[in-house]
Amino acid sequence: MVERLTYRRRNRYNTKSNIQKIVKTPGGRLVFHHQKKRAKGPHCGDCGGKIIGVPVKRPVEYKRIPRRDRRVNRAYGGSRCAKCTRMRVMRAFLIEEQKCVKQVLAEKLSQAKEREAPAGKKGKKSKN
């Protein structure tokens, strides 16, 4: 028959926050050891994947580590993963390039209209 164990802390119920592990002591007794809750770690806000390079800790433990350990040294450091950051930078760059291309095309069209406008005015005569 297995030895019966009692909880060692105030909470006497088997809940998510009261996880126990059975450990055998050198004296041969079985005792409960209290376990901490498992941490999920930071996830990317866009794709939901894990952020590489940031330690997996409970929220209150992030307060105790330095800020440089809570984030990755790049744009959108502890908030977005590397793949999503790359996509955001590429998207911003391509949008800016598209704006430049539109501006150049608009300038070419305006120059072409200026060349055609004087040629069109020569054919018309004024009524004065």
Q: Does the pLDDT at position 52 exceed 90?
A: yes
Please give the pLDDT value at position 2.
78
Cα dist from 38 to 18, 35, 60, 64, whole Å: 12, 9, 13, 17
Tell me what the mean pLDDT of segment 16-26 comes to: 95
Residue spans of the domains in the chain: they are 1-37, 40-114
How far apart CA 13 and CA 19 sit, in angstroms, is 9
Q: Does the pLDDT at position 124 exceed 70?
A: no
103 pLDDT tier (thresholds 50, 70, 90): very high
User: Global pTM?
Assistant: 0.67
- How many Å is the Cα radius of gyration of the chain? 34
118 pLDDT tier (thresholds 50, 70, 90): confident
Tell me what the mean pLDDT of segment 37-41 comes to: 93
